[in-house]
Amino acid sequence: MAIRRVVALAVAVAFSGTFALAQSAKPDTKKRSKEEQREIEQVVKLVDGVMAGQPGPTDIEMTMTPYFLKSQEARTFVPFVLDVKGAPAADVAMYIRVVNPAQQPDPKDKKKPEYPWDDIHFVPAAQVSAGKLHRVFMATPGTYDVYVAMKERLPEKAPRGQVAKMGLLKQQVVVPDFQNGEISTSSVLVTDKVNMLSAPLSAEESRERPFVFGAQELMPAADMSFAKSEELSIFFQVYNAGLDPAGKPNIVMEYEFHKKEGDGEKFFNKTNPQAINASNLPPQFDPAKFPVPGGITVPLASFGEGDYRLAVKISDKVSGKVLTRDVNFTVKAS
């Protein structure tokens, strides 16, 4: 089976830049028009009502898939994919609020409550109709309730009685701690494709395209089902690895494929172990700035149809600790 490494050690310098720690994100703070401010007030009120126990609207249905990466500050960077069903054929106002359930605001307090994250997005109809949106929030480690409210933006002279389509998602998200010094990994990102950027993104663009690392945009796979003519590509980062006397990590990564059969599974194939250490890392590699990148790209032509598990094993030779991560996927004929 032909397997090629995405993170080849010969290009470690290039990937160090690509896989630098995730950028920090900031909510929108720009001044809005009166019409936009009215839209903001409505979606904020919508989330307030649901937090107070009112039922949320269901015209628009949403599900969220979060990913977790270490950032340049104490908070964790959480890009996410929002799957949208029942979206209107119009622009929408979208509001994201991250709430710590243990610190609910006092309803008697007249001050505007502060949340770990709240942000507004005005999304064009073309993006909404695509059915998937990429957005981001940041939070310190802990368990949160994440609310996403979406409301159709009606034209100023909408017909009398026309009601805007609305939807609200509430989802609990557990944000991991990458700052505790313990070896860990980011979420494993399975990608459909990689876009190369010709110029850096603006701050506004970064809020809408949070899967950009350096000059590459990693597009999360739409699902975990792949045709034999496709490839399986995964990317991840290793954090807080032990350092040898030269100040470099000493990591071995192994990838094993198992095919599921009934209630069990059978070994299918594996790659050669991939070592990342002082002998093949560039002298300027700084573990404080750059995580250890991991990942492979696997052509699926030699895979039979069926369900598989990719077992990723990360061995830290300095600390003696071992991490494992699993990726479940399906291979189909076409």
DSSP output for 117-159: EEEEEEE-HHHHHTSEEEEEEEE-SEEEEEEEEEEE---TTPP
Count Cβ neighbours within 10 Å for each residue of 245-257 and write b for 16 or more, e otherwise.
eeebbbbebbbeb
- Distance between CA atoms of 174 and 78, rounded to whole angstroms? 11
Domain ranges of the chain: 4-20+183-332, 34-175
CATH topology for 4-20+183-332? Immunoglobulin-like (2.60.40)
- Choosing among 3.40.190.10, 2.60.40.150, 3.30.565.10, 2.60.40.2250, the CATH entry for 34-175 is 2.60.40.150
What pTM does this model have?
0.90
Tell me which residue has tokens 């172990």.
273
What φ, ψ does residue 199 adopt, rounded to 5°? -155, 155
What is the pLDDT tens value at each position of the chain, 334 positions in all? Answer: 444 443 333 333 334 445 566 677 888 888 888 888 999 999 999 999 999 999 999 999 999 999 999 998 889 999 999 999 998 889 999 999 999 998 876 667 777 788 999 999 999 999 998 899 999 999 999 999 999 999 999 877 767 777 889 999 999 999 999 999 999 999 999 998 888 888 888 888 888 999 988 788 889 999 999 999 999 999 999 999 999 998 999 999 999 999 999 889 999 999 889 999 998 888 888 888 888 888 888 999 999 999 999 999 999 999 999 999 999 999 998 7
Contact 249, 295 (CB under 8 A): no
Tell me whether domains 4-20+183-332 and 34-175 share a fold.
Answer: yes
Rounded-to-integer distance, Cα 149 and Cα 122, Å: 12
